[in-house]
Structure 1
Amino acid sequence: MKLVIFDCDGTLVDSQHLIVACMDAAFISLGRTPPSREATLSIVGLSLFEAFAVLTSPEDPDIPALIEAYKGAFHAERQKHGHAEPLYPGCREVIEWVAAEKAALGIATGKSQRGVRIVMTHHGLIDRFATIQTADDAPSKPHPGMILQAMAEVGAVPEDTVMIGDTTYDIDMAHAAGVGSIAVTWGYHAPEALLRSRPNAIARTYGEVPAILKRLWGV
């Protein structure tokens, strides 16, 4: 069984404006100066505790309150503005192509189960994914737990599994799990940083992904 696992934020959907707005709101609610936009985007992909630990420090006593404030802001923004997380161009077509190739589809994300299911249901794609691994289910990236659990759920082995993501955390997680990796450049980490993580391939548009997958699958 071939398995293709996608990161969510920065890979499937463009959620940067929503994430930055909610991060700013979380810090401001505690009377603290928000991080720069670049700093916030650099931690996209991590689970919330690890993200705030990078933005502040692991010992920061405000982290639990920041997490709750971020979650509250995210919920409020969704209620106010609807679904501000559009699919990237070509994303839907590649998901349908992978499904047509009889490969299993998965998601590994720092989002919660509730969050990722809301956004994928909104886009009408939730039923395409055989496995969804989140911050609720496994340690934060780059720990390999999400990928290992995804493979176990669908019966895939490392040599038939490919992780697709836009951050070094995704590529490092793939290395830790012993699976293939495709770094995409339309997300939140710079191409130079992605190259240093040594992915098996780099895609600059979704249109390049099917050919890369065929090459990695040896077909």
Structure 2
Amino acid sequence: MNSPKKANIMDTSAIKAVVFDCDGVMFDTALANRKFYNDLLAAFNKAPLDDEQFKNIHMMTVRAAVEYLYPEMDDHQPVYKMIKSIGYESVVPLMLMEPGLIELLDAIKQAGLVRGVATNRTNTMGRVLIEHKLKKSFDIVVTASDVANPKPFPDQLEKIMGAYALVPKQLVFIGDSIYDKKAAESAGTWFIAFKQPGLEAHAHAVSMDEVGGLLKLSKYNS
């Protein structure tokens, strides 16, 4: 079994787009997601998320999470009605923005690169960007609702490449899950694993400053 690659083996010279996953990269969403799904489970008299369930739903779309958490139900409409009643908007303020994100996005813009998001969130992403004043900080945002297949499929990254006429090695994707890694691998793009040293990637980073250094942005290499 091959060990995860730790060295930076990216060729950054051709990169024209930097794309971020949302949960676990742009934001620490542990508190928000746990509260939302625990409230949802409690509404149906189910136990709170255990650690394995939490790790799994972190990568999933809402639809996949509902099917995973309620396998005994043939009809999930009552769950979706409860989701609408609870409203994810109530926990959006609990999402903690990663320190240095805004500065990194500004540096990416100054370098003339495209700033993008590829997330398995659906209709909550717009509210997240508005709540945290990031709506104007990205050039393109692709959610699970915008493509036929969510991550781990490459559709989101391919959509971004298509929008800017890019080839795979002109895009770098920053993610923190095996879904992100598989999406980048299938799309043929560069992949930076964020705060996940055990995840195979072209490079690893534990902070936004480290990402900026890996991208060789002037602000981080002076």
TM range (shorter): 0.7 to 0.9
Residue 182 (structure 2) aligned to one of 172, 187, 192: 172
Alpha-carbon spacing, 1:102–1:67, altered in 2? closer, same or farther (3 Å)? same
Would you say 1:49 and 2:63 are equivalent positions?
yes
Q: Which of 6, 9, 12 in structure 1 is aligned with 2:26?
A: 12
Confirm or deny: 8 A CA contact 1:141 1:169 kept in the other structure.
Answer: yes
Indicate which of 186, 199, 204 corresponds to 2:206: 204
Q: Contact between 2:36 and 2:88, CA under 8 Å: does it hold in 1? A: no
**Does structure 2 conserve the Cα–Cα contact (< 8 Å) formed by 1:48 and 1:67?**
no
Output the TM-score relative to the length of structure 2. Answer: 0.81
TM-score, normalised by the number of residues in structure 1:
0.82
Asked if residue 36 in structure 1 is aligned to residue 41 in structure 2, the reply is no
One-letter code aligned to 2:93: H
Aligned pairs for 1:1-219 within 5 A: 2-57=16-71, 60-61=73-74, 63-75=76-88, 77-78=90-91, 83-112=93-122, 114-138=123-147, 139-185=149-195, 191-192=197-198, 194=199, 198-214=200-216
Post-superposition shift, 1:56? 4.8
SS in structure 1 of the partner of residue 172 of structure 2? strand
Q: Which has the higher contact order (CA 8 A, sep 6+)?
A: 2
2-structure distance, mates of 1:72, 1:183: 35
Which shows bigger deviation, 16-25 or 41-50? Answer: 41-50
Whole-Å separation in 2 of the counterparts to 1:67 and 1:15:
21
Deviation of the 1:60 alpha carbon: 4.3
**Paired positions, count:** 203
RMSD of aligned alpha carbons: 2.4
**Taking structure 1 as reference, are residues 191 and 60 closer, same or farther at Cα in structure 2, changes over 3 Å only?**
farther
- Contact 2:18/2:172, CA 8 A, preserved across alignment: yes
Q: Deviations over 1:190-210 (max 9, x none)?
A: 532x2xxx2111101111112
Q: Give, in whole Å, the separation in 1 of the partners of 2:113 and 2:151.
A: 23
Whole-angstrom distance in 1 between the partners of 2:162 and 2:17: 11
Q: CA deviation at 1:16?
A: 1.3
Bigger Rg, which one: 2
| 1:214, distance to aligned residue in structure 2 (A) | 3.2
CA contact (8 A) 1:20 1:41 kept: no
Match of 1:25, SS?
helix
Q: Which of the two has greater helix per residue?
A: 1
- Aligned-pair distance for 1:173? 0.7
